[in-house]
A and B are shown apart, each in its own frame.
Chain A
């Protein structure tokens, strides 16, 4: 900015600012990315304990992750939770988004706000409340309990993503289908759904990633028998640190990365084919 003010004192301030800015950006980039890179590298370490740089390459921690029933069992529990969670949250979130977009009633803003509330209420409060109530419901320490809790936390993400897509769908297409005699269900399935499919899919992916990464609520309502992988990591991190954690961390990271890439591809594809 201000290229016209080429007076010496100002120019030196400007140069100072642009240098400081570049320095901050480079340092910030290192600060943001380096820790992750180091975890990825350590997960392939041949050392029997956590050390950096690793003395050599090995897959021993991934082997341990697959062989050790404690780790593999918890990974399996996470998958058993995230699949139903993603399906339930996507179903209910998409239905709610469609319902909200195609009706108007007094208090609609309040209902929308309520459905987004799990994003605003600090998760520790949800966790503590759910722990207290789920013990009464008999849901404490069950897969069902974890699935329900994760569904609650992920509905807002699906709702937000799908609502944004529905807002730009051309309503005349739906009107045309209905006028030509399509039932509301057929109209949704054959006209609306194909248009919002990328958003529905990215909602599904977000729900899966969030469920896989969730720790705080799971910590409160899981037991050593039904224990997702993040809770297993949590209890190991605090004891003697086992480098298997780095392998789990890498798996979690790759899962998020794949979801992010899939989302990106879905959006690009939908743009290319002229969908929203």
Chain B
């Protein structure tokens, strides 16, 4: 006599992971966020400080401005790249995927270090520019906004290219062919037909790049100057230099709220499946 197949009873397998994350992830994050309202005493004073003092407003503005610029440049470079990946032979496609994937899997610190070597005053780029007579003397390419953007765009480009590619590869060529038959010029065809069809990819890639940029720490800290302080560096500074957990907590709340709101908006607009499925 066949025994009935026993199913279920596997739920406990989730317990170890959930337990570890509750104690060592959720609790620490919650503890930090709570500091914003309890340190040094109960109240909203830390948030008031952030929005009143020009120093902190400047940091918030820097964070949004640098993230916005990074997103814009990633889009400008990423769109033609993803377009080529989606509309080329298998060989070219593979080569481009490889080129985008290699840095994706390389340590952030390694890549940032590489830019420090290349962009410094005695670095290769300055030497070449002076050598071909484009510059009279070496110019500052790092420890300023330019350095931060060069580093961040390189690191975040894959997060723009892959979601875009996932959308572009599915665009039906017959739409643009039909538009062309009906007399649309290539420019008009692109602007009125292709671009709107690719918009979900543009939106997903841009949101991802923007969100990741918001919390960036290593690259701006190493390639930026005093005027490029971003929110993550300010959180570190408040804790490591001033022991001001309340203010660090308030900045963390702002960063997390912004991140979650943007993610939720993206989820609403394009659905989360396009994000994770390549």
A interface list, Cβ under 8 A from B: 1-5, 7, 9-11, 13-14, 17, 20-22, 24-25, 28-29, 31-33, 35-36, 38-39, 42, 50-52, 91-93, 95-96, 98-100, 102-103, 105, 111, 114-115, 117-118, 120-134, 148-149, 151-152, 155, 159-160, 175, 178-179, 181, 184, 209, 212-213, 215-216, 220, 230, 233-234, 237-238, 241, 245-246, 249, 252-253, 256-257, 259-260
Smallest distance from the beta carbon of A50 to chain B beta carbons, Å? 6
B17-A10 in contact (CB<8A):
no
**Which residue among A17, A93, A129, A220 has the maximum number of chain B CB atoms within 10 Å of its CB?**
A129
B49 beta carbon closer than 8 Å to chain A = no
The 3 closest A-B pairs by CB, nearest first: A122-B215, A99-B13, A129-B28
Q: Does B133 contact A (CB under 8 A)?
A: no
Residues of chain A with a CB closer than 8 A to B14's CB = 95-96, 99-100, 111, 115
Q: Binary interface profile of B, 7-26, with partner A (CB < 8 Å = 1, else 0)?
A: 11111111111101100111
A95 to B12, CA, bound (A): 9
Check if B176 is an interface residue, CB within 8 A of chain A. yes
Asked if A28 and B256 sit within 8 Å, CB to CB, the answer is no
* A252→B106 CA distance, assembly (Å): 8
The distance in angstroms between the C-alpha atoms of A237 and B108, with both chains bound, is 13
A contact patch SS: helix
Query: Is there an interface contact between A252 and B16, defined as CB atoms closer than 8 Å?
Result: no
Per-residue CB proximity of B246-273 to A under 8 Å, as 1/0? 0010001001100110010000000000
Query: Which of B30, B83, B215 is the one whose CB lies under 8 Å from A123?
Result: B215
For this complex, into which size category does the number of interface residues on chain B fall? 35 or more
Find residues 207-256 in chain B having any chain A CB closer than 8 Å to their own CB: 214-215, 217-218, 222, 232, 235-236, 239, 245, 248, 252, 255-256
Contact of B80 among A25, A32, A36, A38 (CB under 8 A): A25
- What B residues does A121 contact at CB under 8 A? 29, 256, 259
Determine whether the beta carbon of A159 is less than 8 Å from that of B17: yes
| B105 and A209 form a contact (CB under 8 A) | yes
From B54-62, B178-186, B198-206, the one touching the partner chain is B178-186
Partner of A181, one of B3, B24, B186: B3
Interface: B69 (CB within 8 A): no
State A13–B21 Cα separation when bound (angstroms).
55
B232 to chain A minimum Cβ distance, whole angstroms, is: 4
**Chain B, range 104-124, C-beta contacts under 8 Å to A:** 105-111, 113-118, 122-124
- Judging by beta carbons under 8 Å apart, are B185 and A252 in contact? no
A39:B110 contact, CB within 8 angstroms: yes
Tell me whether A4 and B31 are in contact (CB under 8 A).
no
**Which residue of A13, A31, A36 contacts B185 across the interface (Cβ within 8 Å)?**
A13
Told that A3-B180, A24-B81, A96-B18 touch, could you supply 4 new A-B pairs with CB distance under 8 A?
Answer: A125-B33, A152-B20, A215-B218, A249-B109
Query: A52–B83 contact, CB under 8 A?
Result: no
- A155–B80 Cα distance when bound, in Å, is 35
